[in-house]
Every structure is written in structure tokens, then in C-alpha cells.
Amino acid sequence: MKLNQTLPQLELPWDMIHLGLGQPSGQLLPSEEIGKAAAHSLSVEARSFLAYGDARGNPDFRHTLAQFLTGQYSGRVDPEQLLITNGNSQALDFICTLFTRPGDTVLVEEPSYFLALRIFADHKLNLVSIPVDDEGLRTDILKEKLETLTPAFLYTIPTYHNPASVTLSLKRRQDLVSICAQKNVLVIADEVYHFLNYSDDPPPPMGTWCDRCPLISLGSFSKILAPGLRLGWMHTSEKRVTKMAGSGLLVSGGGFNPFTSEIVNSIVRLGLLTPHIQHLKNIYTKRIETFSSQLKETLPDQAVFQIPKGGYFIWVRFPEGIDTNAFRKAAQKQKVDFYPGVLFSHKKGLKNFMRLSFAFYDEDVLTEGARRLGKVISEHLS
């Protein structure tokens, strides 16, 4: 059983099974494909991707990416609607710099991606949350809040939510667009899990509506190729792309990642991306089956969760009054870990939840992890 083979970001004991980790395992990182693509990119005479590039990203790559997205989505994506980024964390940071000032209000979901909350804190933003339910963001509550609030933007994770694993329904997407168009509220849609669907097709990505309301959709290669590439994109109106490309940072740096863009351009052009995504989906589908059936077996009945239809996460709910942090230390002693729900709340709520993920470990490790976790929780709750 191989455990923590690749984990530069965190320092974990070798025998710890950290079921909270939301990153792909080392074996799923396509180094062979990246090697082929790098050789392809660097074999050509043109070296423009080594120079200061177009502030919006390499034109050729934006063209390739637009074609790829058009093929994946139901609607057409235009290269002029794309701006290449260093991934969604950097894109969020950049958006905060351009569109907020300290003290501004930003709307987030409850729960939300915990590290996005940290980025907003670094920009000294004031967070107000809107709950999510099984259909995603509660757009009715959003509408109410916007009666009195004028936020700098709304941050939402519409598809295969991190951590709640829910997906915003088509009806709610349309509501969201119409509400935010009317109130002129900028929507930042983090769509990093959109391509990782296992048992259904998600509604169209929010980027589809980028000309219908103020909206920036964030996409990334972190989950469909490799996080270390630090490469992603914004999909928004051409006008907003032009505006952002005029920022000091982009004019000075000349595009966020021209070199890596060219390598990923080759990956897509060589036809290596689509099969890799399918490979990931096959692996994750099997992992979900194994992991969730093992969890059903080992977790006590008070622990409730939905089987994820996409993305990375299982969001486990315990009865009110139970604090998952209370048994985290005991879990760590038994060499299993998770992320407690409170991490995903900007107001220290959600204590009776935990986030689990099946992205980092093989099926046998997930099985063992579910056993360890079940044992600890059963002991704690009995």
C-alpha cells in the first residue's frame, strides 16, 4: 500500500491517511504526456513563448483553449473571451486587487473553499455568506441580501462544490444571472471541477452567461492535468478581458505563464488532454464506489452524505451539536485525518460537518482510511 508518495505542500507522517486532502495523487500526474508536449513545444523554431508575451496569454494557446472549451461546452467560447492565469488562486488574488478595496463586502457561500477565504482575508475584505442546499447557492437568499448590500463581488463554486459536492441547478443558474445582471453584481464562478463529472452531465458552465451579467468564470488545469503547472484561465466578456489585460502587473509581466501555456498548448494539440480527463474520470468513479460503500459500512448512522456526482469531495453531515474537531486528535492518533467543517465557514459554523476526498489515495488506502475513520468516530459517538 503506497501512502504519502508525493506531498510537498504538507508534511505528513508517512503512515497517516489524510482523507481531507483535495489534490490528485502522484500517479495521476501525467508526466509522460507533459514530457512529450515539452519536447514538441521546444522543437519548433518560434520562441515567442520564451519572451514577454501578450498580456491576455499566448494568442495561439487562447485559440486552442477556446476550441477545446467549445467542444466540451454546449456553447461557443471565443478566444477573445479568455485570459490565461496562474490558476484559480492567483486569479482570485488578481480579481481582489483589481476590483476591491479593503473593507469591501464580498459574498461567499456557506460552506466555501477554505483557502479562498484566506485570500479574501489577505485583501482585508468583509465576508457575508449565503447558504447552499442540495441545488447549490440559495439564490432566493442572495436576492434578499442584495436588497441592502452592495458587494464588490459574489464568489461561488457552482459545479461539484468544494466542499459540499452539490451543483447549482440550471434554474438557479438562470436566477443567479438575472439577479446579478439586474443588481450589477460581479459573479466570480470557480468552475475548477466542471470537467470531472462521473454520473451525470452538469448544467452549462457559468461562463456561458458571461455576456449576460457581470461574470468571470475561472477554469484551471490543476485538476485535469497537474497543479504544479499553475495554469488556468478566466472566461469573461471581451471587454473585461481587455480591461484586466491593461493592469500594471500584466503589462509589466507580459502574460501570466507564457512558457507553460505553450507546453499545455502542445498537450491539447497532440490530443493528449481529452483521454487524460477520461482516464481521471474512470479512476475517480471506481474510487468513489469503493470509498463510499466502505464509508457506508464503517461510519455510524448519524453520519450522512451524498455520493458525489463529480469533483473531489464527500461532505459528511453529523447531527447538530456534534463537533467533528472534537475527535480529530483521536483520529490523528489512529493515523487518519480529515478536514473539519468549521474550516469551510467564515463565521466558525458548520462544526457538525467534515470534508473527505478520494482524489489523493488509491482504492486500497481509501478502504483502510474509511475503516480507521469509522472506528474512531464510532468510539467517539458511542
Of the candidates 122, 147, 200, 201, which one interacts with its own copies according to CB under 8 A? 122
Residue from 15, 76, 121, 282 touching its own copies (CB under 8 A): that is 121
294-322 as b/e, with b when 16 or more CB fall inside 10 Å?
bbeebbeeebebeebbbbbbbbbbbeeeb
| Using rule CB under 8 A, residue 101 touches its own copies | yes
- Cβ-based nearer residue to its own copies, 251 or 326: 251
User: Is residue 68 a contact point for its own copies (CB under 8 A)?
Assistant: no
Q: Which residues, numbered 128-157, are part of the site for its own copies (CB under 8 A)?
A: none
Tell me: does residue 182 bind its own copies (CB under 8 A). no
Q: Kindly state whether residue 213 participates in binding its own copies, applying the rule CB under 8 A.
A: no
Min dist CB 36 to its own copies, Å, is 9
Min CB(223)–its own copies separation in Å: 11
Q: Give bridge partners of residue 339 from the DSSP assignment.
A: 355
Burial 245-282 (b: 16+ CB within 10 A, else e): eeeeebeeeebbbbbbbbbbbbbbbeebbeebeeebbe
Cα–Cα distance for residue pair 235/242, rounded to 1 Å: 12
Please, how many CA atoms are within 13 Å of residue 368, restricted to the half-sphere of its CB? Answer: 15
Site for its own copies contains 270 (CB under 8 A): no
Among 3, 18, 19, 54, binds its own copies (CB under 8 A): 54
- Return the residues of window 19-38 that contact its own copies according to CB under 8 A: 23-24, 26, 29-31, 34-35, 38
Instruction: Yes or no: say if 245 and 80 are a contact pair by the CB < 8 Å rule.
Output: no
User: Grid coordinates 477554469 are at which residue?
Assistant: 219
| Residue 116 touching its own copies (CB under 8 A) | yes
Residues 81-100 contacting its own copies, CB under 8 A: 86-87, 89-90, 92-93, 96-98
The answer to the question of residue 227 lying near its own copies (CB under 8 A) is yes
**In Å, what is the CA distance from 255 to each residue of 50, 52, 150, 244, 262?**
11, 7, 31, 11, 12
Contact (Cβ atoms closer than 8 angstroms) between residue 84 and residue 62:
yes
Around Cβ 46, how many Cβ atoms within 10 Å?
9
Q: Of residues 1, 170, 249, 304, which one binds its own copies by CB under 8 A? A: 249
For 71, other C-beta atoms within 10 Å of its C-beta total: 9
Query: How far is 298 from 1, CA to CA, in rounded Å?
Result: 20
Please report whether residue 204 would count as binding its own copies according to CB under 8 A. no
Using CB under 8 A, list all residues that contact its own copies. 6-9, 23-24, 26, 29-31, 34-35, 38-39, 42-43, 46-55, 58-59, 86-87, 89-90, 92-93, 96-98, 101-102, 115-124, 222, 226-230, 247-249, 251-260
